[in-house]
Amino acid sequence: MHLSMRSEYCRVSGTVHAEEAPLSSLPMYDVFLGGSCGTTVWRRQLVIPFLKKKAISYYDPQRSVWSENMIYEESIAKERSSLFLFVIDPATVNATSFLEIAYFAARKSPKLVVVFLGKTEWKQKAHPDDLPDRNRTCMLLDRILDAHDVPMLYSIQDALDYIEEEIIGNKRWSDALRVPCQRLSFLSLRTKRVARAAQFRARGAWLRMISYARHVTLACAADAIIFIVCQMVAPNIPIYFILLPLFLLNIIVIFATERLQRYRARRPRAVADSSCFPPRTSAAIPSPRMATTLTPLNPIHSKNHLIRSKRFCDGIIDDGFSLFTVPELSRRRSQNGRVMNTLTPAHIELASSALDDTSWVNRVVIPYMDRNNLRYSRFLVMNDVEPENRMKCLVTWSSQMKHFFYHIPSTRFFLSGMVEVAYMLGHTNWQVTVCVPKEAECLEAPAANEDEVARAFRRRRNDCYQIAFCYLKDMAKRRQCRIFSELEDALQYMSKMSSVGS
């Protein structure tokens, strides 16, 4: 590939930070500046000057030339970084960034923030053959970030505020005051944090006062009604015979209410499935810009739709607990008078990026599974499964031991398939076997005449996807997973690993 083609999607091993340190000492970086590279200027014009001003160390992977040996050096920097910042610029393809975001979200990285500049523009600015894949990738990324409560911002300034709050605001007093460039910011952030906490407590106290006043008003009204009724029914009864029981009744009601509230506070509510509609967290620093630009990832559905979705997902989860989660670990059999333990095969989840092209399942995979007595599920290759339920099941399975067989049959959904595979590889308790045919790796030239602009765009797209594919292979290698180009080889390896892992 030409260097000019690679320059837009460059990755680098060089390190630039506020205080230089030798590479052999493996310095601890505060921020890893991931995301768009190439001709983008958001690093050197906006982020890096801010980080230098605040004495925040960082790792900058942007250089003019990319080589495959830089993947290892970047991985070291990622392991030594406290916060991952990924800025997605619509001017570039950003294939590698999507994979890394999905991977770190699955690993539950404590500090991961994503800035998406112009999501609509990125979805529409693509090769005509890649438009459906772009839209599917954006929806998949939204669901991944939403499921793992990863904040998505829409401006660089919001990201800088978030970095300052997380890096400087969470330091200890002695550590922050030791750095002159961070003293003023630290005091300002702590003051704002105290003010927000005081405002929150004041609001809570005001709401409690309103609640108490409402309860007292209702109690007084009830007492007055009871007193009037008693006077009308039996006017000769002394007043203290009515007021004393009412006073005792109020004490009993107050005591019972307090005990009930304490009981509810000690006993957590039983939640059948909290992954159906997870809450969306915002940035550490509330910003008015987010309120105007943030779009809900979970659209508003009708009540019947929510009930149907909940019932469907509950059925999948129940089935998972009975069939997927608890495989038969061993079975005692008697052979020639000897009792032996025989391990049963593990359950295999079939998955694909192209849900409308599942001919390979019935033609090749299912016959192979039946011949080798392998247990499998076709849930993730069913075209009628809603994407929300697909992601919901993946989140539900995150604590279970799983073996996935993922197939990317063509270039139509190559990027979204790689993103989903990277998300699966991020789970340390999942085994993933991937099959990517050679014809799915690159977008071939059309049969009709192709102008120079379209040819350059297609080649640039292929170069970017190939670099992302190299990162995906490195992720799989670190997880001791394999990526094959032939379906038969992938099935044989999957069968071998399934029998060994069970």
Q: How far is CA 502 from CA 30, 181, 344, 345, 449, in A?
A: 41, 56, 6, 5, 53
Question: Which residue, of 183, 218, 243, is where some domain finishes?
Answer: 183
My answer on whether 218 and 122 are in the same domain is no
**Cβ proximity of 330 and 387 under 8 Å:** no
Q: How far is CA 226 from CA 69, 220, 229, 237, 371, in A?
A: 84, 10, 5, 14, 80
My answer on whether 116 and 148 are in the same domain is yes
pLDDT score for 401: 87
Q: Which residue range is the domain that position 236 belongs to?
A: 205-264
List residues bridging with 484 in a β-sheet: 435
Question: Which residue, of 124, 150, 183, is where some domain finishes?
Answer: 183
DSSP string, 320-344: IIIIISS----EEEEETTEEEEEPP
pLDDT score for 123: 64
My answer on whether 171 and 75 are in the same domain is yes
Nearest to 402 by CA among 429, 380, 365, 423: 429
My answer on whether 149 and 255 are in the same domain is no
What is the pLDDT tens value at each position of the chain, 502 positions in all?
333 333 333 333 344 443 344 444 555 889 999 887 777 788 888 899 999 999 999 988 887 777 788 888 888 888 888 889 998 887 777 888 899 999 999 988 768 888 888 767 666 677 777 888 888 888 898 899 888 988 888 888 998 999 999 888 888 888 888 888 888 988 988 999 899 999 999 999 999 899 888 888 888 888 888 888 888 888 888 888 888 888 888 888 888 888 888 888 777 554 444 334 344 443 333 333 333 333 333 344 444 444 444 444 444 433 333 333 333 333 333 344 443 333 334 588 999 998 888 888 889 999 999 998 888 888 888 888 888 888 888 888 888 888 999 999 988 889 999 999 999 999 998 999 999 999 888 887 776 777 787 788 888 888 888 999 999 999 999 999 999 999 999 999 988 887 775 5
Question: Which residue, of 223, 240, 264, is where some domain finishes?
Answer: 264
My answer on whether 217 and 111 are in the same domain is no
My answer on whether 377 and 435 are in the same domain is yes
Establish if 9 belongs to a structural domain: no
Establish if 60 belongs to a structural domain: yes
My answer on whether 228 and 369 are in the same domain is no
Establish if 256 belongs to a structural domain: yes
The domain spanning residue 63 has which CATH number? Answer: 3.40.50.10140
Establish if 433 belongs to a structural domain: yes
Establish if 297 belongs to a structural domain: no
Q: Coil, strand, or helix at residue 16?
A: coil
Establish if 241 belongs to a structural domain: yes
My answer on whether 63 and 209 are in the same domain is no
Number of domains within the chain: 3
Q: Coil, strand, or helix at residue 92?
A: coil
* Cβ neighbours of residue 127 closer than 8 Å, sequence gap 6 or more: 443, 457, 458, 461
CA angle 445, 450, 455 (to 5 degrees): 65
pLDDT score for 447: 63
Strand ranges (E), 75-214: 81-88, 112-116, 152-153
Establish if 193 belongs to a structural domain: no
Establish if 449 belongs to a structural domain: yes
The domain spanning residue 483 has which CATH number? Answer: 3.40.50
My answer on whether 77 and 213 are in the same domain is no
**Cβ proximity of 18 and 72 under 8 Å:** no
pLDDT score for 152: 85
My answer on whether 167 and 245 are in the same domain is no
My answer on whether 80 and 213 are in the same domain is no
Nearest to 35 by CA among 88, 93, 112: 88
**Cβ proximity of 149 and 281 under 8 Å:** yes
My answer on whether 37 and 151 are in the same domain is yes
Q: Is the pTM of this model over 0.85?
A: no
